[in-house]
Structure 1
């Protein structure tokens, strides 16, 4: 049983983190091969840009979540540490460089995500298509995409699905009441659900996936209602993780730290609701151990 009084100081803030959120920092650089390869090939990872707490674990296992379409996002979500501002030009050779990295890492399941590119007519959908095609041709790996909302474009969604990714992930992030506060004025809860429904209508064989950050002030009832909405949209896979504030000054504060046993309980409830696979825990993120989850198809 976790003792809530056994806390440690939270870095970069006056808050205190509970003991279960303490992670041992690996000695040396166990992920040097992955880190150096990303630098050599000029690739971005969401692991670095979003300051994921699991990045050293994943790097040491020679895996990463690739981030395409540049490193600058056109949205300003209040939870995300990815840089925002004037977007970068698309790199025409990025699909080939991405495929080379996946090949040299020996990946059997490749996760591709991106910044949001509201400046592009298709939101970057064709670039996703080209990246999926390049990786599959060079590696034969299964592909999982974690996409933005493509400015509510069904045509853009269809273009990504034309490349036949095995898993299509679009994060819900939070409950409807908090949606605009967390994701910004351009994001729509209703479209998130519709996008996931559309995936199943366009490509029924594709597994759909979504995730939420907990601890932003949502109630248990609101969370369960949101999970019910996702099941109504035929979402197959679900991830639930603890929100951690990247920086005290710029981002939303944590309202509550959920105990590990509460995550366990929520995971069991989600499975009972019909999700095929559920990953629920304080350090769970959208693509954490994605291959293990995807093996159910």
Structure 2
């Protein structure tokens, strides 16, 4: 699952315990994930007066491919037109990440544009070490950080899938995905509902193609700043329908002052196979 300023990184990952138990050298490591490109149409569901937002619409494109041995790559673009009554602005966020589960490494590059002008770039790399995760940040400032034990986004979302399969309905984790200024992890709580079959009339189920009659889990992930009190409201909350192969649909992104929905408009399965690889 990715979190880039306005949206969480949703998809794929494998738990550390599963990787520790994986056979070494030449064995096939299967994650069950499918390389794909998903396009979502975004609409404003609700906005408080405090937000100043009178309208918002846009599109999100998420492309995922790779495998456990070679690493997983995501390309993510999130474009919104935001209306504030007396003005309209175009927000465009472009993120590329690479996550090597085998070696515990993660790199990220996010460019944020407003009205086609570059506002900000966040670039860096992180590595999981015995004493915690070290982050080498190149943009917006050159610095090295130690942020303690945390999950990367691909790890975290396969933790979600693993827990869903095991019937575990609630769990917590720290997640680092390079969002905002790339200098901190977020505390998360995840709630997984019971597996369901699609119901007649669900808006975007037909766009899942061959998986239209496949079971999914309803999932909600809440993200918190680590220095907030335990009863604090989340920075944002994301709900979606998650398939075992990593595909998601029917998104709801709640940022407190406003709520966006994401309808799966198009799904394309890529030729690359993200589910397995032979490690040498």
Alignment TM class, shorter chain as reference: 0.3 to 0.5
Give 1 or 2: higher strand fraction: 2
TM-score (norm 1): 0.31
Question: Larger relative CO (CA 8 A, sep 6+): 1 or 2?
Answer: 2
Higher helix fraction (1 or 2): 1
